[in-house]
């Protein structure tokens, strides 16, 4: 079935190789077919949406670290939970994501992996964000740096077990958070690199030397930089020092101003640049729901004043939305919209090896498109050409 063409016109378009002021972008059958300064003619085959010239048209954002939203969590291990997450993310400009697990007893992890794999295999539903794969966060992590991950369920890295889990997940595990200093980790990391799966240092007490050893084995990513890891010390650079020093490591940042102070976010951006930072939300099920009591891996989480914590005060993920992280990042660092696109779209797409179809606005790529107003609020989101969100219109 041939679908109607859609043309968005008049706004500034941030294309892969050019920025077009008062341009037009046209999609059909889920793909971008044209970016132009010249408008497509108005005809019966084209729906034309005229936008204010102060608006911005940017690529859909990719969240590689998100546990849940709107009361749902990947660990719920149901289609309904993942569908809920996929349905609400376009409100914040996210058009694709990695369903992120957490440390739990093995049977629960296996159930979540199998469910997510089957969900991905079933295919993206119209008007929802696409699940690009799975982020396995734990249980191959450090007990000393567990954060909100349940310590009792942490286990040593085990390649045989990981292979079983990848089979359960129908091959859809795309990123693994692992502590490189733990016995058995280097074997797993080397295998991940061979399989083009991103190996990420996180929830780790590794020394600088242990991080370097992990990099030689194949780590290339750092999970929520500064959080759940050995910090920077002038006599022991730790995970943070290694992450800041080595260009080979791409670093996640939770830009809510709570997990990391704005000044350190600015320092990180100055050191890493726009090509080695990936904005993530690390959001849990309370996102979109407000203050209250929630569950995270069988632990009670209190959300109050935009902060999610366990009973002992440990930060337990975030409730930030991606477009809020974008505004914060621009405020904290003074970066541009083009820089933001690099950190929310280009970098994650390249890391996940999907830049051929996602991560930028170019003819032939998936029509994952976000319209932002002059205040960087989301006005419309298209997922593969389907209108997934329009401000002021109920789903």
Return the active site residues.
Answer: 282
What stretches of the chain show up as alpha helix (H) in DSSP? 79-88, 106-122, 159-168, 185-194, 208-217, 238-245, 262-272, 322-333, 337-341, 347-351
Number of DSSP helices (H) and strands (E) in the chain, helices first: 10, 23
Phi/psi at 362 (5° precision): -155, 145
What stretches of 53-105 show up as alpha helix (H) in DSSP? 79-88
Phi/psi at 115 (5° precision): -65, -45
Alpha-carbon distance values, 214 to 131, 185, 199 (Å): 28, 8, 9
End-to-end alpha carbon distance in the chain: 24
Task: Please compute, for residue 24, the number of CA atoms within 13 A of its CA located in the half-sphere on the CB side.
Answer: 20
* C-beta of residue 151 within 8 angstroms of C-beta of residue 210: no
C-alpha triplet 24, 335, 363: angle, nearest 5°: 25
For 299, residues 6+ apart whose C-beta sits below 8 A from its C-beta are: 148, 150, 310, 316
Measure the CA–CA gap between 382 and 14, rounded to whole angstroms.
15
Within 10 Å of residue 305's Cβ, how many Cβ atoms?
A: 6
For 372, residues 6+ apart whose C-beta sits below 8 A from its C-beta are: 55, 56, 57, 58, 93, 323, 378, 379
């Amino acid at each position: 079935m041939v679908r109607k063409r859609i043309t968005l016109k008049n706004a500034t378009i941030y294309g892969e190789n050019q920025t077009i002021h008062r341009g037009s972008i046209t999609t059909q059958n889920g793909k971008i077919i044209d970016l132009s300064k010249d408008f497509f003619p108005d005809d019966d085959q084209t729906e034309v949406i005229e936008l204010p010239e102060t608006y911005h048209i940017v690529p859909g954002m990719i969240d590689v670290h998100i546990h849940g939203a709107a009361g749902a969590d990947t660990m719920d291990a149901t289609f309904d939970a993942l569908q809920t997450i996929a349905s609400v993310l376009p409100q914040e400009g996210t058009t694709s994501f990695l369903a992120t697990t957490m440390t739990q007893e093995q049977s629960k992890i296996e159930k979540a992996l199998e469910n997510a794999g089957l969900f991905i295999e079933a295919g993206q539903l119209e008007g929802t964000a696409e699940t690009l794969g799975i982020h396995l966060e734990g249980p191959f992590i450090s007990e000393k740096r567990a954060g909100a991950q349940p310590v009792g369920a942490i286990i040593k890295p085990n390649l045989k077990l990981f292979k079983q889990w990848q089979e359960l997940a129908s091959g859809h595990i795309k990123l693994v958070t692992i502590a490189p200093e733990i016995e058995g980790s280097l074997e797993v990391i080397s295998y991940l690199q061979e399989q083009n799966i991103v190996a990420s240092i996180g929830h780790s007490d590794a020394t600088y030397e242990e991080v370097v050893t992990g990099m030689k084995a194949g780590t290339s990513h750092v999970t929520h930089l500064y959080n759940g890891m050995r910090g920077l010390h002038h006599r022991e650079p730790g995970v943070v020092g290694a992450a800041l020093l080595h260009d080979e490591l791409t670093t996640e940042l939770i830009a809510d101003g709570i997990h990391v102070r704005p000044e350190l976010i600015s320092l990180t951006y100055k050191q890493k640049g726009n090509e080695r930072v990936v904005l993530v939300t690390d959001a849990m099920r309370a996102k979109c729901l407000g203050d209250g009591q929630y569950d995270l891996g069988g632990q009670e989480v209190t959300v109050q004043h935009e902060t999610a914590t366990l009973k002992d005060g440990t930060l337990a993920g975030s409730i930030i939305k991606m477009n809020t992280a974008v505004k914060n990042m621009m405020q904290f660092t003074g970066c541009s919209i083009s820089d933001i696109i690099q950190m929310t779209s280009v970098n994650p797409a390249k890391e996940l090896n999907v830049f051929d179809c996602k991560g930028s606005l170019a003819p032939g790529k998936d029509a994952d498109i976000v319209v932002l107003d002059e205040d960087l609020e989301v006005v419309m989101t298209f997922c593969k050409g389907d209108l997934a969100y329009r401000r002021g219109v109920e789903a």
